[in-house]
Amino acid sequence: MSLSTRITMTLVIVVAAFAVLDGWVVQRVFGERFDALEESSALTDMDRVRQALEQEVQQLANLTHSLAGAPSLRDGREGAMPRAEELIALDLDVYFVLGPTDQSQNRPVLRSRIELPAERDDAQLTNFPRASWSGQHPLLTGDLKPQQDNEALRSGIQLTGAGPMLLAVDPAWSPTGDARDQILITGRFLSWNRIARLRERTRIEFQVWQLDGQDQLPEHILQRLPQVTGSPTPHLEQGDENLLGMSTFDDLRQRPQLLIEARLPRTISAEGQAAVTFGRISVLTGAAVLVLALLILLRRIVLNPLAALTDHAESVGSTENISLRMNSQRTDELGRLSGELDSMLDKLVEARAALVDAARTAGKSEVATGILHNVGNMLSGIGISSDELSESIELLGTDDLSTVAAALEEHAQDLESYLCEDSHGKHLPPFVQALAEQQTTQRDRLRRELRSLRQGLEHVAELVRGQQQFTQRGSLTGEFDPSALMEEALRLVEQSLGQDPELEVLRFFDPNLTTVPGDRHRTLDILVNLIQNAFQAMEGQVEPRTLILRTRLEKTIACLEVEDSGPGIDSAHLTQVFAPGFTTRKDGHGYGLHTAANAALEMGGHLEARSADYAQGAAFQLQLTTQNTHARQSTTQHISVAIPETVAPSGAPYGIHQSNPSRR
């Protein structure tokens, strides 16, 4: 997963978590406040309904108190009765005037009128008889003395068969203040029309239910009735769209006989929820804009430069072209990181150059060590030859010659008689002859030792010349014979590592390839490295060890191949053999093939590795152009590994310069 994706996902998760947490906090804090505010508003609405009913009762009480002092009642005229239109104008449904108490403690009805509501025109008002009222009637019990204030004696709600009724009871009095034993009773039914007017006035949808059993209560009211009647405050329940409010209203006897049911729209919570939703949308929108802005800034300031730095590092790693540089002009952390990377690459270039030089020097040292070892062996032979010469010189018989010379000089006057007659002189000729034979033998021995000494010195001189040629540096562009150069490289390796009597060297040289333009010394370096690796790969091998040297011309490309019968190259390592520092030898440094491949590239050529065609070993092919001009390439260019077409070692499709294998 990319860094950009991770950052995007992290920001989205953080914003989502913030939105969820914000929604939870808002819902927890403001939601509860909205609910509390809505409940408070609902209680206020329920109180408004109660106040509206109380106002209706109070208005009726005031009207009754006013009518109780009317002239018709003060004068005591029998049969005086307001006309129907007057009652309608006064909005009175019930009008009763009761006379004084008779001997049976009943009050006769002096005047009466009842106008039932249209929805209950067949109802019977048993509590409102038309003839007389008992003194124990609930409306007539208690103190019925006239009051001095402007209020009726008794007012409130009375439940009837025609529905709940607003009722007022007030005695009449004379202008002088003397009470007359008459009672005025007025009432107004809470009909649908009156309740509709109250709804319109209070703007609250409500209805009333009688709790005396005359109304069939709905199931939801029956379930909640104990809670409603047992609580002094209104009962509220939350619904999806409305609040259900229930409260009781006391009758004249202060008993909860009327239930008020109101369905209150949840406008506050709806508005609050809308505000919360708008706030959430605003938060999410702001968060989305913030995330987008952060992503744009991060991409521009951090991610894009970081991606460029990553691509640069991947390019350096994949191509091994350590000459690439970022050269960033930034001064922030990424700029410093880019600068440090460029500085590391500079140090890596220096270190790699030092390693290449060290590897080249180590390779030269290995060859020089081998040559010096051989020189030491040759010098040991020369020392032995010099000892032999010294011994031969001691055996030359010069003392005997001096003795013969002295005897001859002593008997120079009588030499003939001395040689013929003297006992010592007679032995002198055989002695001289034996001495001559001895000198001849010593001469031949000295010649042999001198010849051996001369050969040893010549061999040492040849080793020294070869080492001098091998260690010469510089680009000496010219022409060389690739076959002869391969032979020279083989000779140098054998001088360094020693000849192997069990090694079979097969040569397949193309007679059409006699000269190649290029740097002879660099090519020799490459061939020595390849042949030396082949020798080392076959060390300790019991099977027949075979080294194949091959040259061939393919169009304008000269191919110089070195193939061995060693363990070969693992397929997993085939693409890494030219990488700097890669080696499978415990004592290897891993820069020999890398240096050889870079040298081939510098000469405009190419070095390839493949599995060998013979004995499952390894094969390396150096490709050089036969043109006089070639393009120089950077030593840090990526070295590719290719597998060319197979060529059988037993027979080649080109001419063979030396067809018979030889052992060296």
Of 602, 598, 606, 607, nearest to 632 (Cα)? 602
Classify residue 340: in a domain, yes or no.
Answer: no
- Judge if 125 and 181 occupy the same domain: yes
Backbone phi and psi for residue 441, each to the nearest 5 degrees, phi listed first: -65, -45
pLDDT at 350 over 60: yes
The neighbour count for residue 478, using CB atoms within 10 Å, is 10
- Judge if 454 and 543 occupy the same domain: no
Amino acid present at 383: G
Classify residue 404: in a domain, yes or no.
Answer: yes
Q: How many CA atoms lie within 13 A of 262 on its CB side?
A: 30
- Judge if 457 and 512 occupy the same domain: no
Low-confidence winner among 47-56, 509-518, 637-646 (lowest mean pLDDT): 637-646
**Model pLDDT for residues 247-258, shown as the tens digit of each residue:** 999 888 888 888
pLDDT score at 596: 86
Confidence of residue 111 (pLDDT cuts 50, 70, 90): confident
Specify the DSSP class assigned to residue 603.
T
pLDDT at 378 over 70: no
CA–CA dist 248, 260 (Å, integer): 6
Pair of tokens at residue 626: 């036969």
pLDDT score at 364: 66
**Model pLDDT for residues 617-654, shown as the tens digit of each residue:** 889 999 999 876 433 333 333 333 333 333 333 333 33
- Judge if 64 and 105 occupy the same domain: yes
Of 166, 10, 139, 150, nearest to 69 (Cα)? 150
Report the percentage of the chain scoring pLDDT > 90: 13
pLDDT score at 51: 93
pLDDT score at 554: 92
Classify residue 561: in a domain, yes or no.
Answer: yes
- Judge if 102 and 130 occupy the same domain: yes
CA–CA dist 152, 137 (Å, integer): 18
Adjacency order of strands within the sheet including 132-134? 132-134, 106-114, 94-98, 179-189, 163-173, 154-160
Classify residue 308: in a domain, yes or no.
Answer: no
Confidence of residue 363 (pLDDT cuts 50, 70, 90): low
Across 238-244, average pLDDT = 80
Comparison of pLDDT for 354 and 226, the residue scoring more: 226
Range ranked top by mean pLDDT from 158-167, 370-379, 418-427: 158-167
Comparison of pLDDT for 620 and 577, the residue scoring more: 620
Confidence of residue 662 (pLDDT cuts 50, 70, 90): very low
- Judge if 200 and 231 occupy the same domain: yes
Comparison of pLDDT for 110 and 425, the residue scoring more: 110
Phi-psi region of 7 (alpha: psi -120 to 50; beta: other; left: phi over 0): alpha
Are 168 and 155 contacting, i.e. CB atoms less than 8 angstroms apart?
A: yes
Say whether 104 sits in a helix, a strand or coil.
coil
Amino acid present at 36: A
pLDDT score at 81: 57
Across 440-447, average pLDDT = 82
The average confidence (pLDDT) of the chain is 78
Across 332-356, average pLDDT = 80
- Judge if 87 and 124 occupy the same domain: yes
Comparison of pLDDT for 155 and 179, the residue scoring more: 155
Pair of tokens at residue 376: 């030491």
- Judge if 426 and 495 occupy the same domain: no
Backbone phi and psi for residue 238, each to the nearest 5 degrees, phi listed first: -85, 135
Comparison of pLDDT for 531 and 448, the residue scoring more: 531
Confidence of residue 547 (pLDDT cuts 50, 70, 90): very high
- Judge if 438 and 483 occupy the same domain: no
Which of 409, 436, 466 is the endpoint of a domain? 466
Q: How many CA atoms lie within 13 A of 328 on its CB side?
A: 21
CA dihedral 328, 332, 333, 336 (to 10 degrees): 40
| DSSP alpha helix (H) spans, 158-208 | 192-202
Distant-in-sequence, close-in-space partners of 290: CB < 8 Å, separation ≥ 6: 15
**Most distant CA pair in the chain: distance in Å?**
229
Specify the DSSP class assigned to residue 29.
I
In angstroms and rounded to an integer, the radius of gyration of the C-alpha atoms of the chain is 67
- Judge if 598 and 623 occupy the same domain: yes
pLDDT score at 622: 95
Confidence of residue 47 (pLDDT cuts 50, 70, 90): very high
Which of 238, 267, 296 is the endpoint of a domain? 267
Specify the DSSP class assigned to residue 302.
I
Phi-psi region of 590 (alpha: psi -120 to 50; beta: other; left: phi over 0): left
CA angle 536, 540, 542 (to 5 degrees): 125
CA dihedral 444, 446, 447, 449 (to 10 degrees): 120
Backbone phi and psi for residue 232, each to the nearest 5 degrees, phi listed first: -75, -15
Across 487-496, average pLDDT = 83
Which of 223, 248, 267 is the endpoint of a domain? 267
pLDDT score at 507: 94
Classify residue 359: in a domain, yes or no.
Answer: no
CA–CA dist 562, 549 (Å, integer): 5
Q: Which structural domain range is residue 238 located in? A: 11-267
Classify residue 182: in a domain, yes or no.
Answer: yes
pLDDT score at 548: 93
Classify residue 448: in a domain, yes or no.
Answer: yes
Classify strands 477-480 and 154-160 as parallel, antiparallel or unpaired: unpaired
Backbone phi and psi for residue 502, each to the nearest 5 degrees, phi listed first: -90, 0
Question: Tell me, what CATH number does 635's domain have?
Answer: 3.30.565.10
Classify residue 152: in a domain, yes or no.
Answer: yes
- Judge if 499 and 584 occupy the same domain: yes
Confidence of residue 166 (pLDDT cuts 50, 70, 90): very high
End-to-end alpha carbon distance in the chain: 61
pLDDT score at 71: 62
pLDDT score at 311: 82
- Judge if 180 and 79 occupy the same domain: yes
Total structural domains in the chain?
3
Range ranked top by mean pLDDT from 440-454, 597-611, 633-647: 597-611
pLDDT score at 266: 78
pLDDT score at 370: 57
pLDDT score at 11: 82
CA–CA dist 527, 545 (Å, integer): 19
